[in-house]
Amino acid sequence: MRQDCQIVFHPMNRVISVQPGTNLLAALRSANVQIESICGGKGECGKCRVIIDSGDYHEKRRTQKSHLSSEERGRGYRLACEIVVSGNMEVTVPVESRIERPQILCGLLGECDCGGMAPSVRTYPLEIRSDPVFPLSVRSIRLLNYSGPRPTISEAMYQKITGSDTRLKALLTETDGYPELIDLISEEEMKTPLGIALDLGTTTIACAIVDLESGIVLAEEATLNRQITYGEEVITRISFARNAEGLRLLQQAAAESINYVITRVTESAGVQPDDLMEICIGGNTVMTHLINAIDPGYLELADADVQRKPFIRKAQALGINLHSGAYCYCLPNVSRFVGGDAVAGVLSSGLHCGSELSLFIDLGTNGEIVLGNKDWIASISCASGPAFEGAGISSGMRAMHGAIERVAIEPDSGEAHVMVIGGARPRGICGSGLIDAVTGMFKAGILDFKGILKSHPLVRTGHAGPEYVLVPAAESATGQDIVITQPDMDYFMDSKAALCGGIGVLMKKYRLKVTDIRHIYLAGAFGAFVNLQNTVAFGIIPSFPFAEVHPVGNTSLKGAYAALVSLEKRREAQKIASMMVYIDLLVDSDFIEEYTAALSIPGKEEYFRDSSGEGDAL
């Protein structure tokens, strides 16, 4: 029998034992060390950089050379996904590879108005009548103040009723479509039933604990989705889940992440997980499949037939630590890449209620765009989100401590001035900073209208070709230059063209002009932190001169909250999912034309003639 190898991870001083032949990235996952791994371990992104201090190993592939310079290799840098453990090791996870202190948007407290409380879970006094002839026998059981179908009751609940000599209250749930009695508690011990509203994002998870009688939010917490070390994008996770073991690992990672954030939020509220009687989840199609342990492989097909009904399971069957009778309700999906989070966005923004045309934009790891009003709703999805979160960029990182979030570039000199999350030295640049930077570079003449780096004193030839030095090594936290390379610009231009082109497809399909749109709902961090004038000036989204802009926060969480406290809102969500048209850009004939036109800065004249990138107009 081969002896296990011991690996010590610095600076967290975490120790793990693994078998010889174990991939180092897999060992990091097992040790719950959160490390960047956008491609999921394929050796393509170059983000899972580690420093091997000592130990025995061999390299699995040779693609490391394209991501690491000879100088870096000499200092011990390797890609974790390409290292195979063969003996004891000591490994340092450098600052640029760590995932820590993310800037995650919650935003429910003080904003809870769903037009009336009608939760699925309610309490009712229980009246038990004994048989007058046989006093120890129960003749009838009645829920006071309840009108509806006769609830189902388990044998265990029935025995609890017959064996009780105290006044009881019944906890009733209607989540699974039929009333079910899930617990009986004495009137003296009965507490207000609580529930969890949760946004299950590809990268982050945010949740709120809610009083189901008043709708008051007691506490909010957020964390990273532990699935991220298996790949940043949903396509990568679909690929990882192709076999049963991969699906199990991803489901387990999601459940563990949910349990972790539930533990934190219950501690903040001073309650116990057993007090939680329901969880409502807003998440994209892949995420809701994975948490429910449903193989998402078929979602790779362009004509995938996606169920537009909510996934409903017992929470404990999914490994989520709530009350034993609690259900997990996932908002309904629409298509393979427009999921319950987009439905939640429409639900919480009210796009489906008015007669004026509205556009909803949610750029997370994936991008969802919804256009419509109370009469019709159409949607698209584009794979542009990661670039706007800093992913796929050589010096990019998510919005967390040490990320550059704001950039101002002097038009004459091209010199950059940066603002960093946490005020420390910068480790890299996140999406909002990147949008500022590229817009400033274009205005300063560092970029041409095709996004090509021009000859400039601050542009040099680097490892991957021309690159603009945003922050020199002496001023960074990593001791390395923070740069924007030509491959970065190519990727960013592709992403901006996909988003703007996708919006153009929706406009073209319904024969609309930018002047027809009256409301723009910007969800998530994109709406909260991004400079809108720069977003339009660079051509990421068109200029809508007559539209009112609404930053609407975490709409996935808000939609989950609405579904948690109102059965009527669940019915609305179902209606939204049923009526929403999905246009698949991968097979749409108009998309190539719109995408190609958007590969210039800013883009089509008819989309930007009313905007110079200055002032208040969007």
Whether residue 30 contacts residue 85, with contact meaning beta carbons closer than 8 Å, is answered with no
The token pair that represents 91 in the structure block: 């490994």
Instruction: Give yes or no: residues 142 and 202 share one domain.
Output: no
Is 54 inside a domain boundary?
yes
Total structural domains within the chain = 5
Q: Note the pLDDT tens digit of each residue in 380-398.
A: 998 776 778 777 888 988 8
- CA–CA distance, 134 with 159 (Å, rounded to integer): 17
- Residues composing the chain: 618
Per-residue model confidence (pLDDT) at position 614: 41
Q: Could you tell me which of 355, 232, 245 has the C-alpha nearest to residue 286?
A: 232
178-217: b (≥16 Cβ within 10 Å) or e: ebbbbbbbeeeebeebbbbbbbbbbbbbbbbbbbbeebeb
Name residue 204's beta-bridge partners.
224
Is 111 inside a domain boundary?
no
Q: What is the CATH number of the domain that holds 302?
A: 3.30.420.480
Q: Could you tell me which of 224, 237, 246, 267 has the C-alpha nearest to residue 104?
A: 224
Per-residue model confidence (pLDDT) at position 616: 41
Whether residue 24 contacts residue 97, with contact meaning beta carbons closer than 8 Å, is answered with no
- CA–CA distance, 250 with 561 (Å, rounded to integer): 25
Whether residue 545 contacts residue 611, with contact meaning beta carbons closer than 8 Å, is answered with yes
- Helices 555-565/567-579 angle, 10° precision: 130
- CA–CA distance, 336 with 380 (Å, rounded to integer): 11
Order the strands of the 465-471 sheet from edge to edge. 459-462, 465-471, 482-485
In whole angstroms, how large is the CA radius of gyration of the chain?
26
Instruction: Give yes or no: residues 50 and 148 share one domain.
Output: no
Instruction: Give yes or no: residues 538 and 550 share one domain.
Output: yes
Q: What is the CATH number of the domain that holds 361?
A: 3.30.420.40
Q: Could you tell me which of 1, 66, 105 has the C-alpha nearest to residue 389?
A: 105
Instruction: Give yes or no: residues 85 and 18 share one domain.
Output: yes
**Beta-carbon count within 10 A of 17 CB:** 14
Whether residue 418 contacts residue 470, with contact meaning beta carbons closer than 8 Å, is answered with yes
Q: Note the pLDDT tens digit of each residue in 540-575.
A: 999 999 999 999 989 999 999 999 999 999 999 999
Per-residue model confidence (pLDDT) at position 356: 97
Per-residue model confidence (pLDDT) at position 195: 97
Give the C-alpha distances (Å, rounded to integers) separating 218 from 10, 112, 525: 37, 11, 23
Question: Alpha helix locations (H) across 41-99?
Answer: 64-67, 70-74
Instruction: Give yes or no: residues 20 and 69 share one domain.
Output: yes
Q: CB within 8 A of 415, min separation 6: which ones?
A: 409, 458
Whether residue 566 contacts residue 363, with contact meaning beta carbons closer than 8 Å, is answered with no
Q: What is the CATH number of the domain that holds 60?
A: 3.10.20.30
- CA–CA distance, 342 with 283 (Å, rounded to integer): 8
| Farthest-apart Cα atoms in the chain, separation | 100
Per-residue model confidence (pLDDT) at position 617: 46
**In this structure, is the dihedral angle defined by the CA atoms of residues 142, 144, 150 and 153, taken in order, positive or negative?**
negative
Sole residue written with tokens 């809108």? 532
Name residue 278's beta-bridge partners.
327
Using the 3D structure, point to which of 475, 492, 509 is the last residue of a domain: 492
Instruction: Give yes or no: residues 361 and 504 share one domain.
Output: yes
Give the pairing type, strands 519-523 and 358-363: parallel
Instruction: Give yes or no: residues 375 and 512 share one domain.
Output: yes
Single-letter amino acid code for the residue at 40: G
DSSP letter string, 409-444: E-TTT--EEEEETTSS---EE-HHHHHHHHHHHHHT
Per-residue model confidence (pLDDT) at position 618: 61
Using the 3D structure, point to which of 97, 130, 161 is the last residue of a domain: 97
Phi, psi dihedrals of residue 609, rounded to the nearest 5°? -65, -20
Is 314 inside a domain boundary?
yes
Instruction: Give yes or no: residues 176 and 215 share one domain.
Output: no
Instruction: Give yes or no: residues 309 and 424 share one domain.
Output: no
Per-residue model confidence (pLDDT) at position 32: 82
Whether residue 523 contacts residue 552, with contact meaning beta carbons closer than 8 Å, is answered with yes
Using the 3D structure, point to which of 28, 63, 97 is the last residue of a domain: 97
Sole residue written with tokens 């603009």? 468
Instruction: Give yes or no: residues 248 and 319 share one domain.
Output: yes
| pTM of the full structure | 0.84
Phi, psi dihedrals of residue 522, rounded to the nearest 5°? -105, 115
The residue ranges of the chain whose pLDDT is under 70 are 1-2, 61-66, 100-115, 129-140, 163-166, 385, 610-618
Per-residue model confidence (pLDDT) at position 234: 87
Is 464 inside a domain boundary?
yes
Instruction: Give yes or no: residues 125 and 74 share one domain.
Output: no
Is 104 inside a domain boundary?
no
Q: Could you tell me which of 406, 409, 436, 431 has the C-alpha nearest to residue 420?
A: 406
Is 243 inside a domain boundary?
yes
For residue 149, what are the domain limits?
121-186
Instruction: Give yes or no: residues 203 and 262 share one domain.
Output: yes
Is 103 inside a domain boundary?
no
Q: Is 397 exposed, middle or buried (0-12, 13-18, 19+ CB in 10 A)?
A: buried
Give the C-alpha distances (Å, rounded to integers) separating 334 from 164, 192, 492, 499: 47, 34, 28, 19
Is 613 inside a domain boundary?
no
- CA–CA distance, 465 with 481 (Å, rounded to integer): 15
